[in-house]
Amino acid sequence: MGSAPAAISRGGWKLREQMEADERRVLAPFAQKSGDSRGRKYRESSHAYRTEFQRDRARIIHSRAFRRLEYKTQVFLNGTGDHLRTRLTHSIEVASISRTIARSLSLNEDLAETIALAHDLGHSPFGHSGEEMLAECMREHGGFEHNRQSLRVVELLENAYPNFDGLNLTFEVREGLRKRQAFYDPPTPEEEKYRCPSLEAQIANLADEITYYSHDLDDALDFEILSGPQLEEDAVWQRSHRAVLRRYPEAREPELHKLIIRDIIDVEVHDVVTTSAQSIVDVGVQSADEVRKQQSPLIRYSDDLLAANRELRRFLYQNVYYHPRVAEVNRRACEMLRKVFETYVVDPDRLGETAAKRIEAEGLHRTVCDYVAGMTDRYLMEEYARITAL
C-alpha cells in the first residue's frame, strides 16, 4: 500500500490529517485550527475524512432543533408571507456571511459557519416577542435567554446518541454559543477565565447583526410596513441608496431596494474585514489563545459604522419590531404561548413520559420551558387550539 499522500493523489480523496495540515499551512497563526481543538466532553474517536469542526457542523444540520427553525418566526409570523425570513433562513444567511469574513481574514471557515448555524437553536417560537414572554414566564424560575437555551439544546436536549445527552460538540463551538458573557469558562478548572472567545466566534456574532440589520429591512419592505421616505431618515440606508443610484441610475422598485440591501451587506462586511484586520495587526496576536486573552473583541466595526448601526437598530425597533401590524400579531401569539406554558405547569402529563424524568432532574418550570422553547410556531398554535377547545 502506498503512503497516505500518494493514495490521496490517486484516489482524489483527502484524509482528516491532510485537512488539518492544510489548515496549519493556509490559515493565519491566530486562527483556531481544528487539530488544536480542546475536544469534546465525552471522548470520541476522530473521523477518517472530516475535521472536528466539520463533524460538529453535520451534527447541527442533522439535528431536530435545526430542522424546527424552518417553522419559527424571525420577525414576521411564520406563514404570513412566502418570501419572509424564518429562523432557518436567517441562520443560513448568518453562516454565509460568517464564511465570507472568515475567509477574508484567513480564519477557520468551518468553525465560524458551525457556530453561525447553531446560534439560534434555542430560540423560542414567535421571535423576540416569544422570547420576552417566555422570559416573563420564567422570571421566578431562572429566566430564559435564547443564547443560553442554544447551549442547553446542544449539551442536553438533543438526543441522537446512546452514550450521552446532547450532541457532544467541541469546546470551541460551545464557546461560540456563549454570547454576551463577561467571562468565558475554560475547558478545565485549572485554567483562568477569559474575556474573548475565538475570532471565529466573534465573526459569527457580528454576522448575526449584519444579517438582521439588512434582511429585517428587506422583509419590512416586502411586508409593506416601511416606505422609501421613512428609510431616508437612516444613514446606513441613505449611503447605500446613493451608491446604488450612481451605479444603476435607471434602477426602480422592486429591484432598487434589493440592490440597496445587497450594498448594505457589502459595506458592512467590507468594514468589518478591514477594521478587524487592522485591530489584529495592532495588538499583534499570534495564536488563538492570545486572542482569548484580549480585553475586548478584535472583530469589530469601525467607529463610524458602529454609530450608524446603533441608529439603524433604533430605527428598526421604532418602525418595524414595534409596528402595529407586527406588534398586534405578536401580542396574540404571545398570549397563546403564555396559555400553553401555564397549562403545562398545571398539567405536566401533557408533556409525555420523557418529561417526568426531566422534571425530577431539572424542575417543573425548566422542563416546561425547554418544551415550549423547542416548539415551532405552528405546533404551539395547534396545541393552544387543543387546550382552549376543551
Nearest one of 132, 169, 153 to 321, comparing CA atoms: 132
200 and 27 Cβ atoms separated by less than 8 Å: no
For residues 337 and 123, the answer to whether their CB atoms sit within 8 Å is no
Cα(381)–Cα(372) distance, integer angstroms: 11
Give residue 12's pLDDT.
Answer: 63
**Distance between CA 317 and CA 361 in Å, rounded?**
39
The H or E element containing residue 180 is: none
At 259, the amino acid letter reads: L
Averaged pLDDT score across all residues of the chain: 92
Q: Could you tell me the CA-to-CA distances from 35 to 12, 138, 186 in Å, in that order?
A: 22, 40, 18
- Taking CA 131 as the corner, what is the angle to CA 364 and CA 86, rounded to the nearest 5 degrees? 120
Task: List the grid coordinates of 389.
Answer: 377547545
Residues with pLDDT less than 50, the chain: 1-3, 6-7, 9-10
Report the alpha-carbon angle 371-376-380, nearest 5: 70
Q: Which domains does the chain have, with CATH numbers?
A: 26-389 (1.10.3210.10)
For residue 71, give the DSSP letter. G
Cell 435607471 appears where? 250
The answer to whether 336 touches 380, Cβ cutoff 8 Å, is: yes
Helix axes 255-283, 303-316, angle to 10 degrees: 140
Q: Which amino acid does the sequence have at 226?
A: L
Residue 213, H or E segment: helix 199-222
Tell whether pTM > 0.75: yes
Spatial contact of 4 and 18, defined as CB atoms under 8 Å apart: yes
pLDDT, one tens digit per residue, over 11-31 is 567 899 999 999 999 999 999
Q: Cell for 63? A: 439535528
Count of CA atoms in the C-beta half-sphere (13 A) of 120: 32
φ, ψ at 51 (rounded to 5°): -75, 170
Tens-digit pLDDT profile for residues 302-346? 999 999 999 999 999 999 888 888 888 889 999 999 999 999 999
**Which pLDDT score, from 0 to 100, does residue 187 have?**
82
